[in-house]
Amino acid sequence: MNLLVTGAAGFIGSAYVRGLLAGGTADITVLDKLTYAGSLTNLPVGHPRLEFVQGDICDAPLVDKLTAGADQIVHFAAESHVDRSIDGAGTFVRTNVLGTQTLLDAALRHGVGPFVHVSTDEVYGSIETGSWPEEHPLAPNSPYSASKASSDLIALAYHRTHGLDVRVTRCSNNYGPHQFPEKVVPLFVTNLLDGERVPLYGDGRNVRDWLHVEDHCHGIDLVRTNGRPGEVYNIGGGTELSNRELTGLLLDACGAGWDRVEHVTDRKGHDLRYSVDWSKARTELGYRPRHDFATGLADTVAWYRDHRDWWEPLKRGVRR
């Protein structure tokens, strides 16, 4: 089988590809533009079942060529940092919306499926209590989440209109090795390891559910292999923490105190709480998170401590 994976030089996509190469038999083609968040150091370049192609998912001729040789598609490629989308939404709309539509058109032309579209819990907006089921109306609040919600709807429309085998996943916040150091966990860890301060938005009450990247990838592959066409599957981690609670855990893990925390002005439109109901994936697909959060976080901190050669070059120009 030939699998086309977009955006797989990034954090989550590369973890997915590494897992498949370690435990599967598929031949994998990675299409990645290698923007600031993508790096070939995340991939086992030279593996006999891996082909890497540098390119843009908005490049219709290139996408068509690669899709013609694919049996299935797993689509990770996206602009994903909320703060960057607040500063300028154009790139997010182009990549996340038009890029997804370009891939869907090519998949339809060549009869490729399943087409797994990887999305985010942020499309639901913010929830005070309880957890979102997959049927909950979408109410995104940032330009990033709005662009992802748009791409979700376009992908599902290709299933309903054309019968394309589209399957959508929506995950909670990921953590783990190889995450670009503008995201909160690697940003805080690398700043603390360097003796710097860490920025905590507002009062730190914002709550997120935390999901180890390998558990997320496991869930995605269950959707690819056993999911139903036209369905959405939430993938959660089962560990809800406020940003203040997460900060405390990271300070402890790095041997630092609260004097290293700088309270900064809250993000515009900052969603208070995310929480997905992933009972559908559990019931239909047998999905369960495999990583205990305490152990997973400790292992993640240790990875960044041991891999300065990976993240130090990336810290230049990153928001702090």
Task: Single out the catalytic residue among 32, 79, 122, 182.
Answer: 122
Known catalytic membership, residue 122: yes
Task: Single out the catalytic residue among 32, 79, 121, 214.
Answer: 121
Q: Under the phi-then-psi rule, with left for phi > 0, alpha for psi from -120 to 50, and beta for the rest, what region is 157? A: alpha
**Residues 171, 232: contact at Cβ < 8 Å?**
no
Known catalytic membership, residue 287: no
**Residues 120, 12: contact at Cβ < 8 Å?**
no
Q: 31-53 burial, b if ≥16 CB within 10 A, otherwise e?
A: bbbeeebbbeebbeeeeebbbbe
Q: Which of 199, 174, 316, 197 is CA-nearest to residue 254?
A: 197
Known catalytic membership, residue 175: no
**Residues 187, 318: contact at Cβ < 8 Å?**
yes
Task: Single out the catalytic residue among 16, 124, 144, 233.
Answer: 144
Residues 6+ apart with CB under 8 A from 231: 134, 167, 168
Q: Are strands 207-212 and 239-242 parallel, antiparallel or unpaired?
A: antiparallel
Q: Is the peptide bond before 114 cis (omega within 30 degrees of 0)?
A: yes
CA distance 228 to 262: 46
Supply the residues annotated as catalytic: 121-122, 144
